[in-house]
Amino acid sequence: MPINYDDRIPNNVDLSSNKRLQRALETWQPAFLDWWRDVGPVGTALDEIYLRTAISTEPGGWAHFDHVKMPDYRWGIFLEDRDMNRVIPCGDHAGQPVWQEVPGEYRSNLRRIIVTQADTEPASVEQQRWLGKTAPSMYDMRNLFQVNVEEGRHLWAMVYLLHAHFGKDGRDEADELLARRSGDADKPRILDAFNQPCPDWLTFFCFTMFTDRDGKYQLGALAESGFDPLARTCRFMLTEEAHHLSVGELGVERVLRRSAQLTKLDKNGDARAQGGIDLPTVQKWINFWFAYSLDLFGSEISSNGAEFFATGLKGRWNEAKDYTDHKALDQYYTLPVVKNGMLVDERVPMRNAMNDVLRQSYILDCERVIKRWNKALEEEGVDFRVSLPSSRFFRRQGVYSEFDFNREGELIGSEAWEKNRDSWIPSQADRDYVASLMHPVTEPGKIANWIGAPRRGINGQDVDFEYVRKG
């Protein structure tokens, strides 16, 4: 019996008449479900979750709400509608019509870009698979699963590109995406931040705030790609990604508010004594995840970055809208680098600095969130303020990775680093403590002690709405 693809897989890519896609999905879709069952959210197959499903690209079509079992979730394939006049936004081909098919010349680089982006999507699901066991509320549990199914859909979106445009190589790469595992010693995920464990909810909120925000900027840069199907796919993904960021931003904010309240409540100003997370500890989590997420942008001086820009595969944030010179040939970028034990400014050809250009857009975005968080702390009446560390702090990739910097970005020795390390990034004791707070709260409307209640519910529902019906 022929499979009704449109029914099972909401799409706007004419799946029911695309034999190549059907053939590819025939084997990949069952493998995806196996993967979801093996390493997706633990013990949730029978639960009915109040989830949003994208069913079309019409206004509102991306947000159809219903209680569904996650294995029955309809992962769809959507591209933003095609702009017939769109031109390649940047690089040597700027101004020429965009490519609807993969240019053979750039096949390898494009495939690599897509695979690298795609690999992060299933990775985060794997990282977060145990968190459902310790959700601080049903509301949060639902948000976690929403993020998970949408990361799953983003995987689908990327796999669609591999299947539709990269032939056998693409199918092989799509299979590999289900074979790698976050944190696995033998087959790890490609990027390091996606091999870090996500054992507690503070980590989850920081991850969705900082690491998913890297995703937003990568998708934004790829939304400026001259390869139009990639650009259109990424633009649609960006709408969903925005939700993940708000889960992170509001999650951390609720922790901060609660920590402030508990700090004030305790006669010694010790939030931990009140069963909460003290504000300096939250700051350590921020330090850690901000730094790890900065690594995801790649090295500050990068020939790959230059090549991807030059060939029009990847632009800057809002390339078409915010920039006038799309070639960026005779421009330079000033970057502080370490020479002879000192930080000195280096002039880098602009194209080689594209990774850092994107990273700076990201940092500005993070700064805006920090301001909102500090406003919340102010409202709660405490003096403590959170901040972002320098972009040189605790880096594992790029030109700063071989040196030690303090939070202000000053070069320090490894001795000074070791001495301060535990006050800057989470120590094992900090991690153990936060982990000790993770207990599930399953009654609708109730909330764990270490985190504040959300301001409002999902899709106009109350906070105590039954977001998760245990099966």
Beta bridge partners of 67: 50
The DSSP secondary-structure symbol of 388 reads: P
Our finding on whether 108 is near another protein (CB under 8 A) is yes
Least distance from C-beta 148 to another protein, angstroms? 32
Select 20 or 372, whichever has its Cβ closest to another protein. Answer: 20
Question: Which C-beta is closer to another protein: that of 166 or that of 217?
Answer: 166
Instruction: Report the residue number, 5 or 292, with the smaller CB distance to another protein.
Output: 5
DSSP assignment letter at 340: T
Give me the phi and psi of 434, to 5 degrees please: -60, -40
CB atoms within 10 A of CB 66: 10
- Residue 303 interacting with another protein (CB under 8 A): no
Of 94, 451, 104, 142, which is closest to residue 274 (Cα–Cα)?
A: 451
Report the helix count and the strand count for the chain, using DSSP H and E: 14, 7
Check the CA dihedral 422-408-414-361 and report its sign: positive
Stretch that binds another protein, among 105-113, 263-271, 352-360, 366-374 (CB under 8 A): 105-113
**Please, which residue, 167 or 269, has the CB nearer to another protein?**
167
Find the shortest distance in angstroms from Cβ 104 to another protein.
2
What is the rounded CA–CA span in Å between residue 19 and residue 173? 19
Asked if 102 touches another protein (CB under 8 A), the answer is yes
In whole angstroms, the minimum distance from the beta carbon of 307 to another protein comes to: 13
Helices (H), 88-193: 107-127, 138-165, 167-179
Contact 145, 204 (CB under 8 A): no
Identify which range of 35-43, 99-107, 237-245, 326-334 contacts another protein by CB under 8 A.
Answer: 99-107
Member of 3, 14, 17, 20 binding another protein (CB under 8 A): 20
Determine contact, residues 96/88, Cβ cutoff 8 Å.
yes
Cβ contact 252:244 at 8 Å: no
Q: Is 269 helix (H, G, I), strand (E, B) or coil?
A: coil
Among 6, 8, 55, 103, contact with another protein (rule: CB under 8 A): 103
Applying the rule CB under 8 A, the residues between 118 and 177 that interact with another protein are 165, 167-168
Nearest distance from C-beta of residue 20 to another protein, angstroms: 4
Q: Count interface residues toward another protein (CB under 8 A).
A: 13
| CA–CA separation, 148 and 459 (whole Å) | 18
SS3 call for 411: strand
Say whether residue 206 binds another protein (CB under 8 A).
no
CB of 19 to another protein, least distance (A): 5
C-alpha span between 469 and 67 (Å, rounded)? 8
Nearer to another protein, 77 or 434 (CB): 77
CB of 23 to another protein, least distance (A): 6
Please report how close the Cβ of residue 165 comes to another protein at its closest, in angstroms. Answer: 7
Residue of 66, 83, 101, 270 that binds another protein (CB under 8 A): 101
Q: Given the complex with another protein, which of 167 and 336 has the nearer CB atom? A: 167
Regarding 222 and contact with another protein (CB under 8 A), the answer is no
Q: Tell me how far apart the alpha carbons of residues 403 and 319 are, in angstroms, rounded to a whole number.
A: 32
CB of 235 to another protein, least distance (A): 24
Which conformational region is residue 394 in: left (phi greater than 0), alpha (psi within -120 to 50 degrees), or beta? left
* Binding residues for another protein restricted to 23-52, rule: CB under 8 A: 23
- 10 Å CB burial of residue 324 (0-12, 13-18, 19+) is exposed
CB of 6 to another protein, least distance (A): 19
Nearer to another protein by Cβ, of 168 and 321: the residue is 168
Closest approach, Cβ 171 to another protein, in A, equals: 9
Q: Is 295 within 8 Å of 396 (Cβ atoms)? A: yes
Q: 470: how many CB neighbours lie within 10 A of its CB?
A: 10
H-helix segments, 266-318: 279-295, 303-310
Based on the shown chain and the rule CB under 8 A, indicate whether residue 2 belongs to the binding site for another protein.
Answer: no
Binding span for another protein by CB under 8 A among 95-103, 342-350, 410-418, 434-442: 95-103
Instruction: Give the residue, chosen from 1, 2, 7, 19, that forms a contact with another protein under the rule CB under 8 A.
Output: 19
Of the candidate spans 97-105, 183-191, 297-305, 425-433, the one that interacts with another protein by CB under 8 A turns out to be 97-105
Binding flag, residue 105, another protein (CB under 8 A): yes
* In the complex, least distance from residue 24 CB atom to another protein, rounded to whole angstroms: 9
Q: At a CB cut-off of 8 Å and minimum separation 6, what does 285 contact?
A: 202, 203, 206, 426
107 binds another protein (CB under 8 A): yes
Decide: 249 and 242 in contact? Cβ < 8 Å. no
Report the interface residues with another protein, using CB under 8 A. 19-20, 23, 101-105, 107-108, 165, 167-168
